[in-house]
Amino acid sequence: MRCGLLGRTLGHSFSREIHEKLGRYSYELIEVPPEGLDAFLTARDFDGFNVTIPYKQAVIPYLDGLSDRARAIGAVNTVVRRGGKLYGDNTDFGGLEALIRRMGLELKGKTVLIAGTGGTSQTAKAVAESLGAARSLRLSRSGRGGAMTYEEACASCAGAEILINTTPAGMYPDVDGVAVDLSRLPRLEGVVDVVYNPLTTRLVRQARARGIPADNGLYMLVAQAVLAAEAFTGERFGGELTDRIWRELLSEKRNIVLTGMPGSGKSTLGKLLAQQLTRPLVDIDEEIVCRAGMPITEIFRARGEGAFRELESAIIREVSLTGGKIIATGGGAVLRRENVDNLKMNGVCVFLDRPLEELLPSAERPLADEAGKLRELYARRYPLYTAAADVAVRVSGTPEHTARVLLEALK
């Protein structure tokens, strides 16, 4: 059986990995420019395929039949060939519904704002209405097609409780995008972002910083893929498989970011974890030395701490854009909020909490080359480490023991 994903630009997609975990068929990424869409769809040489931006509506005229749900929504993300004919369905509906339920969000009686006007926005509107939303409003910059502008929505719907982003704002590689200014929606109770790459978009990070429950679209992606696989194969898989694949994918794609005081064991533990998990290791301090062409002590002496921090931030930003790595940070990485924000884009921050009495001064660390400096540094930075940490691990015993404790904490 030959299946795949139809889209225009698919370098960011995780779909092949998800379908390969099902192990029922081959699955390809099918990048087709707009001028090639007609030829692809008329050839009909796939048994089934998913559809993503920008073709969820464009494929409809080529189909011989639509499910009631796909017809009502006006968007298709799953196509199956049966007897030489093409039939379209919308498994995004079930995927988004599964994500919202998993987040524990209550939409009944609420005002739901939906950023975007594409095919996924229509799906989001249908899901919101099925879950009892009092109002579901689609938003766009222009306001065309019956949508409200973002300015109108912030002015007249500031009391909205739920926001669903269906735009590509914030999607890799343009990770800085944010569809909506959350400060103008003070009563939000939940934010759902269908973007799944990066694992935690800027919109989701901003929402969580405000104490608003928020999540990205990875669970939705997996749930809709499992539903599509059921359509491709005629088998029934269920929610347990969705949960398992989601956990596996999240673990594989997430960076493990090690933070902590100079001498806490970040580099040693990073090398051990990289070996155990067969992942690449990025040691930020080593990368700084490599790019600067001189030791850290010399960078401080010749260029000053400010230049060192600028280079550190640039490297952190670069390595944080993609996942699947072990990242050992320098002791001062948490001093800048932008660094922590970038590290959390695709990573879980682990604070290696080694007791002060076990930390030793080092001539290789300009800010911690004396016992007195080390004590002062510890007092200043400890609150920053704990604030940045998603997980804190007490460092004790051998590196192997600490690695076991850390991996258990990440399960």
Tens of pLDDT, residue by residue over 275-305, are: 999 999 999 999 999 999 999 999 999 999 9
Distance CA 34, CA 28 (A): 18
What the chain holds in terms of domains, given with CATH numbers, is: 2-88+225-237 (3.40.50.10860), 94-216 (3.40.50.720), 255-409 (3.40.50.300)
Quickly state the pLDDT bin for 370 (edges 50, 70, 90).
confident
Residue 357 scores a pLDDT above 90 = yes
Residue 347 scores a pLDDT above 90 = yes
The pLDDT assigned to 369 comes to: 82
Residue 363 scores a pLDDT above 90 = no
Residue 368 scores a pLDDT above 90 = no
User: What is the pLDDT of the chain when averaged over all its residues?
Assistant: 96
Cα 77 off chain centre by? 21
pLDDT digits (tens, 9 = 90+) for 155-190: 999 999 999 999 999 999 999 999 999 999 999 999
| Triad 91, 95, 96: Cα angle to 5° | 115
pLDDT digits (tens, 9 = 90+) for 200-224: 999 999 999 999 999 999 999 999 9
Q: Helices (DSSP H) in 218-295: which residue ranges?
A: 218-233, 239-253, 266-277, 284-292
Residue type, 78: T
pLDDT digits (tens, 9 = 90+) for 221-251: 999 999 999 999 999 998 999 999 999 999 9
In 368-399, which positions are buried (b, 16+ CB within 10 angstroms) versus exposed (e)?
beeeeebeebbeebeebbeebbeeebebeeee
Residue 398 scores a pLDDT above 90 = yes
pLDDT digits (tens, 9 = 90+) for 46-64: 999 999 989 999 999 999 9
Quickly state the pLDDT bin for 366 (edges 50, 70, 90).
confident
**Collapsing DSSP states into helix, strand and coil, what is residue 382?**
helix
81 beta partners: 86
pLDDT digits (tens, 9 = 90+) for 99-108: 999 999 999 9
Residue 144 scores a pLDDT above 90 = no
Determine whether 56 is an active site residue. Answer: yes
The pLDDT assigned to 406 comes to: 97
Lowest mean pLDDT among 84-98, 145-159, 177-191: 145-159
The pLDDT assigned to 362 comes to: 85
The mean pLDDT of 36-55, rounded to a whole number, is 95
Which of 21, 56, 85, 266 is the catalytic position? Answer: 56
pLDDT digits (tens, 9 = 90+) for 302-326: 999 999 999 999 999 999 999 999 9
The mean pLDDT of 85-108, rounded to a whole number, is 98
Q: Is 180 exposed, middle or buried (0-12, 13-18, 19+ CB in 10 A)?
A: buried
Residue 145 scores a pLDDT above 90 = no
